[in-house]
Amino acid sequence: MSKNKKQTTKQKKKEITKTKNNDSNSPKENKVNKRGKKIEEKKMHESVQSKKNTTADTKTQIKEDKKVKEPHHELLNSHSSGSSNEISKLVKIVLIVTGIMIIFYGITLIATNQADNVNDENQSDEDNAATEIQYENIMIGTILNHSGTYYVLIEQEGDNRVAEYESIITTIESSEDAPAIYKANLTDSFNKVYLGKEQNYYVDNIADFRVTGTVLVTVVDGKIDSVKDSYDDIKNQLNDLV
């Protein structure tokens, strides 16, 4: 019993001593804890402040980016507007040039048509003149190829009376209602075949037609109507036409 009491008493003393020690160390630990809390609070404050600064910097950077983008956007708009104006000017220039070309083309076309008309008229006049010349000097092989009534003076080379006949023909042609009178010279290579030793006037085929000298042939609608082969008959026939 006494031993147990002693052990109990020792144990209680140890606990009291430990409690005192704990009580003596408590203010120090409190100080340490308070200091740790302050450090942690300071760190938290610094962290919060850092976050605020970061947020502020981010906002500032966003604003600066916006400021940078806005001039760029304005520059793009200005460039786009300038491009539209240039395209509009180019289109106007193309339209003006096209209009001028169309006008010049129209003027050229009108001038060309007028020139063609003049050339056609001149060509027609030349053709008519050529036709008249051709009809004045006709080939015997074609004297039955025309319609209407006309006369053909077939002239033999060396006939001195031909000049007198032609003088009367000139007088006839000066009148407005002069009949058509043609001439065919037997010296022409195409007409030589119609000069023969015997006359053959009234034929259906002109290839069979033959004369022996100067004659005046009257043709009506492609057929030989009469042939005068003497000086007096030819002269009188021509005078009747004056």
Residues 214, 99, single domain; the answer is: no
Distance between CA atoms of residues 97 and 94, nearest Å: 5
Residues 56, 104, single domain; the answer is: yes
Q: Select the more confidently predicted residue: 68 or 206.
A: 206
Distance between CA atoms of residues 63 and 55, nearest Å: 12
Q: Select the more confidently predicted residue: 59 or 180.
A: 180
Question: Final residue of a domain: which of 105, 136, 167?
Answer: 136
Q: According to the model, what pLDDT value does residue 156 have?
A: 94
> What residue type is assigned to position 12 of the chain?
K
Q: According to the model, what pLDDT value does residue 137 have?
A: 87
Q: Select the more confidently predicted residue: 27 or 232.
A: 232
Summary mean pLDDT of the chain: 78
The mean pLDDT value for 13-33 works out to: 53
Residues 100, 10, single domain; the answer is: yes
Q: Select the more confidently predicted residue: 45 or 76.
A: 45
Task: Kindly report the pTM of this predicted structure.
Answer: 0.47
> What residue type is assigned to position 169 of the chain?
I
Q: Where are the beta strands (DSSP E) in the chain?
A: 149-155, 180-185, 215-220, 223-228
Q: According to the model, what pLDDT value does residue 192 have?
A: 93
The mean pLDDT value for 149-167 works out to: 94
Give the number of C-alpha atoms closer than 13 A to the C-alpha of residue 124, restricted to the C-beta side.
6
Residues 117, 2, single domain; the answer is: yes
- The answer to whether the beta carbons of residues 218 and 224 sit under 8 Å apart is yes
What six digits make up the tokens of 108?
């050229």
Distance between CA atoms of residues 172 and 182, nearest Å: 12
Domain that holds residue 182: 139-240
Question: Final residue of a domain: which of 112, 136, 160?
Answer: 136
Residue 153 has pLDDT above 50, yes or no: yes
